[in-house]
Amino acid sequence: MAVRVSVIGASGYGGAEAVRLLATHPDVRLTRVTAETRAGQPVAELFPNLRGFVDLVTEPLDPGGLARDSDLVIVSLPSGASMTVIPELLERGVRVIDVGADFRLRDPSLYPEWYRFEHTAPRYLAEAVYGLTELRAGEIRGARLVADPGCYPAAALLALAPLVRVDAVAPDGVVIDAKSGVSGAGRGGAAGGHPYAETNEDVRAYAVPRHNHTAEIEQELSAAAARPVRVTFVPHLVPMTRGILVTAYARLVRPLDAAQLHAAYREAYAGAPFVRVLPAGALPQTKATAGTNYCDLAVRVDERTGTAIAIAALDNLGKGAAGQAVQNLNLMFGLRETAGLGTPGLYP
C-alpha cells in the first residue's frame, strides 16, 4: 500500500521540490498540498514543470484534514512557523518531517540566540531526530518527528564528519567557506528571494560572523566528535539558481596524507547511496549534483600547513532540503532508501 504524504508550504521552492519528487515516487501517494498565501491555485499553475504530473489544488492549512488523509506530512515553512503546526499533527498520530529549522537544535535556549524567537514547543525537541541520514539512519527509522538539516549544514557535516569522528583534526579553528545559489533564500516576497539584476555578476558574503546555521553545525559536529567543536562559518551568495559548494579547513593533529584521508572517507560512506567520494584528482562541482539528492565529496591535505581541506557539493533544494526529506521518508516507512531519488543530475 502506498504511503500517503501531504506537503505543507507547497508554494515555496522547498515544498515544491518535495512535491516534484513525490509525484513520481513509486511507493507514495501525494494526498494534500497547502499554501496559505496561494490557496486555491492548481499546483501546475504555480510550478509549470509539474503540469501533467500533479493535479492537486493548494488549500489552507487544516491539521485535522491532513492527519486524516496522511501517514506523513512534510512541513516546509519559514523558521518559527512550523513549531506552531507540528505538535498538533504529532498528537493526531501523523509522522512529520520538518524541512525548516524549528526542531533541529536540541537546546531551546539557542533559538532566541540564533533565530531571535522563543521556542513554543520545547518538549518536542528531545524526541526530534536530526535528519542527516548518513549520520542518524538508525534513529530516523523509528522516529515520528525528523528535523531535516539545513542546506549549508548538510554539506558541511558530510564534509567534516569523517575527520572529527576519528579525532584527525583539532576541534577548534575549523573554517567553513560556503557558496550557495539564490534559491536558498526562498521564492520571494516576505520569505526572501533576490532579484536577477542584484544577483547577476555578483558574489557577496552575508550574515558574518553569526549565520544561524553555525549552531546546528557545531551541535552535530560535537556529537560526532564526542567533544565540543567550534567553527567559523561564512556563507556567500553566488549568481546561480541552485547548488552549494562548501570548502572546509581543519588543522590536522597528526601526520596524515591525502591517500589516508581519502580511504577514511571511502570507508565512512561505503554504505551511503547518495554520497559520492570522488576519485583522486577529481573535485566536487555544483552542476554535477543539480536536481539530485547526491553529495559529492573530496578531501585534500596541505602538508606545508598541516591542514585538511574537505570539499562538498550538493543541490540546496535536493540533498539540502526536499531530497533529504524523501530519503528520510523512505527509511521511516521501510522503503528502499533510493526510492524516488535515483536519477542523475542535469548537465550542462
Q: Which residues are catalytic?
A: 151
Q: How many whole angstroms separate alpha carbon 33 and alpha carbon 322?
A: 14
Q: Which residues on adjacent β-strands are paired with residue 314?
A: 244, 295
**DSSP alpha helices (H): ranges in the chain?**
13-23, 43-46, 63-69, 86-91, 110-114, 133-141, 151-165, 196-199, 213-225, 258-268, 323-332
CA distances to 26, 95, 106, 138, 298 from 123, in Å = 35, 16, 10, 22, 39
- Nearest Cα residue to 72 out of 155, 143, 123: 143
Q: How does DSSP classify residue 205?
A: E
* Number of helices (H), then strands (E), in the chain: 11, 13
**Can the peptide bond before residue 348 be classed as cis, meaning omega within 30 degrees of 0?**
yes
Buried b (16+ CB within 10 A) or exposed e, 35-69: beebeeeebbebbeebeeebebebbebebeebbeb
